[in-house]
Each structure stands twice: as C-alpha cells, then as structure tokens.
Chain A
Amino acid sequence: MMYAWLFRHLPGPLWARILLTVLLLAAVIVALFGWVFPAIAPHMPFNDGLVGAAPRAG
C-alpha cells in the first residue's frame, strides 16, 4: 500500500524507479547499521558479560 504508493510516486521510467528503490533501500540499511543499531544495542539485555556493578557505559 504505502510502499506501492511510494514506488508510483518516484520519478522517471521503470528502470530508474527500480534503481532508485535499490539505492534508497541501501541507504536505509547503511543508516541502520551505522547509527541506529549501534545506538540501541546498549539497551539490549544480552551483551553484558561483566560481573558486579562495573561501569556499564562510558
């Protein structure tokens, strides 16, 4: 629905829209891997291998 809407509103011929879609997806993944996931990982409960009240972040 919304993705179909987005795809229809991309400019250019079909091949350009497909290319644009791939580029947009790649940009989203880069942003997720580079910034979003590293920012939320410290709040996940499975990374901490320390004992005691050691400094959790810093």
Chain B
Amino acid sequence: MKRSHLSGYLFLVPYLLLFSGFLILPLGYGLGLSVFRWELLSPVSAKFIGWNNYAEALRSDYFWKAFGATFRFVVMAVPATVGSALLIACGLNRVGGAKRQSFYRAAYFVPTLISISVAGILWRWFYNSEFGLFNAFLAQWGLKVPWLTDVAVAMKSVVLMTLWWTVGGPVVIFLAGLKQIPNQYYEAAAIDGAGTLQRFFHITLPLLRPVLLFVVVMSIIGSFQVFGQTFMMTRGGPELSTRVLVQYIYETAFTNYRMGYAAAMSWLLFVAIAAFSILQFRLMRER
C-alpha cells in the first residue's frame, strides 16, 4: 500500500468506524436474527428456525396488507412530491430578485423543519371530520370529507399532508439543479422559436436528469419507509388501511417483542426498496 493511500484511509477511519458500528453491524445482526425465533416474552431462548420467519411473513395477511398500504403510499407520494417540487422549483427559478426568491424558497422549506409529531398532530386536527379546520371551511359549500376516517380517503389525506411536509427538500435540490443549466441554451432555443413547454421538455428536463434521478430514488426510498405520518395521524386506521410496513414491523418488534419475525420483515422491506431503486436507475439511465 502506498503511503498516500494510507493517509486517505486514515482520514476515513472515523467515519468507517461509525458506519460499520451503527449500520453494517446491525444490518448483519438483523440478518442473523431473521432466521431465529427470538421473542423477548418467551421463557425459551432464541432458536434457529431457518426461513420460517420469511415464510410466515409471506403467508401472512397482515404482512401483505401492510405491504399494499406502503405500496399505495409510494405510488401516490413519489409522483406527487417530485412533480410538485419540479413545478414549484421552475416557478421559483423565474421569480426575480435574489431576496424574494430565497424568501419563497424558505417558505416552502419551513414545513420540512417541523418535527413529524408536531406536524402529525396538527394535521390530525385539521382533518378531523366533525370538528376539523378543513371541514369547517368546506362546510360553506355543504361539503364534508371523511379525511382520515374513510378507508378510501385516508391514505390520500396522508399523501397530501406528506406533500406539504416534504416538498421543500426536493424544491431546494431542483432549484440548485436549474441554476446549473446555462442560460445560453434557453436563449438559443428562444431564437429558434421554441415555446415554454418545448424548452421545458427539451432543455430543462434532459439537463436535469441526474438531479431528477437522485430526487426520485431518494423519494422512493423515503416513501417506502413511511411511518411517522400515518402513525401520528391514523395509527394505521381506519381498519388498518394506512398501517404501513414500518409500523407493522415496529409493532411486531416493540409491542409484541417478536424480534426474529420483525427482522425478517425488515429484510423483505429492504429487498423491496433495493429492487425498486435499481429498477428506477435502469429506467432513467437507458432513456
């Protein structure tokens, strides 16, 4: 090993220590756990049971219901977040004046800073169908929406709240990406007579692709791990329609104390996230 390499590794040591101590090690431990039956309440100690935990999860209605709820959230939340963030960023990019622009950027970003417990409780009150703010407003037109109490509506309400809560992050990233696009391209296109939409689809979008890929993949990963919003607003209800996988894993591990089974489900979730992320990478690269 060359001396110069050594110093490089030395600089990496602190991070590598943390990374392996708090990520690699627990990951491996979790994988090991997932082939054991280990229940904290049980008088018997852990027992090797092979793939049984995985088999139980794949046979369980509750697992698939939770997976379905998570999937529905991802399918709605990712396009909604990425789409609106892109729109907002494009809009902000055209706002004149650096001060004014940073004010609006901050305005969109502020909700991201609110902790999920606060945001969740706040929106639960907004959404309350009998006494909530939204329905009080809609009552003017005689409307009454069962925001969190109807099986068909609840997840959409969660997505709407998530949009408000998380859109600020991608907006900032898109805005930075937009600023990287040299103005000459737009000028040239304008001279050639390209309209706003044409410029968006033929200049902005292609040049933004690396940023877009990053945002989409991060958004997918984040959305698969959704937990706080649903837990604070619905506790997984009504009738488990918003009980997502992470909540089910949490309940399995920390209220029912079935550690092995929970570890197995965590790995299934990990596989799902990895699969969708890779798929997304492929799709967006090959174009």
Tell whether A pairs with B: no
Residues of A within 8 A of B (CB): none
Residues of B within 8 A of A (CB): none
